[in-house]
Structure 1
């Protein structure tokens, strides 16, 4: 590509192009310095955040370990807070609803002394609780009933599923 000599023969044009070239070079150097400073700043920020992330991940691991250990300790200290009794053969017996309610209340009354006990100790004596319920006769409106424990779920709430068997007079 040929540059016309007309622009380089006159001093005004030469100064203009020299100024453009010098301005471009000064601008480019300024850009490189500013870009380098920004890159250095962001590298420093990224490193700082990476260190903080590693620190926080370490703290999270520590807290998760503490949380799991605390949960295991609290699980050992759990107490029985509520007792629920469900009669599984309500439809088969054709007894009045009030009778079913009274039977379930008597079963709850029988288990009431277990409230506030440690769940671990209750789990150890689960068979005793089942035998106690199955050997007791419940009297409602001059009729005797026995219960057979079908399921016993134990956590902070004891859920007992019983089958009611009327006894012949």
Structure 2
């Protein structure tokens, strides 16, 4: 069997030349498309890597902050200030007396500043009794107090009612 010599015809030669040129052209297009796609993937990969490292750093910082907060929460809360308010100020004769009475009460319970809130809250009855059983004297008048409200936290807040003792 013999293959006919079609390669000698001009139409077959043009077809083979066109097929070869098309193959070369399509190979270059394939290389270009593959390169641009690979370049985009590399850029996306770098962006994702940088985002992952940023998120890891953020996670480490948050975990460290959480550990610091855990350590702080394990530390006991201490009383920092005392805030006293007299509920019946209008019954008292002078605003200077109100200020003096508040200062006297603060002096009486100033020992609780710097103590743990848990200790103070356990002995809140003792704190109330300390204020209610003591007579405070200002300008030849003696005052007694009854504790209306006692809030114990960083700031101990007392709402007291003043009466003139007889």
Same fold (TM over 0.5): yes
SS of the residue 2:74 aligns to: helix
Residue of structure 1 in register with 2:33 after alignment: 32
- Whole-Å separation in 2 of the counterparts to 1:105 and 1:150: 18
Q: Superposition RMSD on alpha carbons, in Å?
A: 3.2
Residue of structure 1 in register with 2:150 after alignment: 152
- Whole-Å separation in 2 of the counterparts to 1:131 and 1:27: 95
8 Å CA contact retained: 2:146, 2:162: yes
2:122 to 121, 124, 139: 124
1:114 CA displacement: 1.8
Q: Could you tell me which runs of 5 or more consecutive residues in structure 2 were left unpaired when the two chains were aligned.
A: 1-17
1:98 CA displacement: 1.1
Residue of structure 1 in register with 2:10 after alignment: none
Change (3 A) 1:159 1:68: same
Residue of structure 2 in register with 1:9 after alignment: none
- Whole-Å separation in 2 of the counterparts to 1:54 and 1:145: 63
- Whole-Å separation in 2 of the counterparts to 1:85 and 1:29: 83
User: How many residues of Structure 1 are paired with residues of Structure 2 in the alignment?
Assistant: 152
SS of the residue 1:95 aligns to: coil
Q: Could you tell me which runs of 5 or more consecutive residues in structure 1 were left unpaired when the two chains were aligned.
A: 1-16
- Whole-Å separation in 1 of the counterparts to 2:160 and 2:140: 21
8 Å CA contact retained: 2:92, 2:98: no
Tell me the TM-score normalized by structure 2.
0.73
Change (3 A) 1:65 1:94: closer
- Whole-Å separation in 2 of the counterparts to 1:40 and 1:116: 61
Change (3 A) 1:67 1:22: same
2:99 to 98, 101, 126: 101
Change (3 A) 1:97 1:61: closer
SS of the residue 2:79 aligns to: coil
SS of the residue 1:59 aligns to: helix
1:68 CA displacement: 3.8
Residue of structure 2 in register with 1:67 after alignment: 68
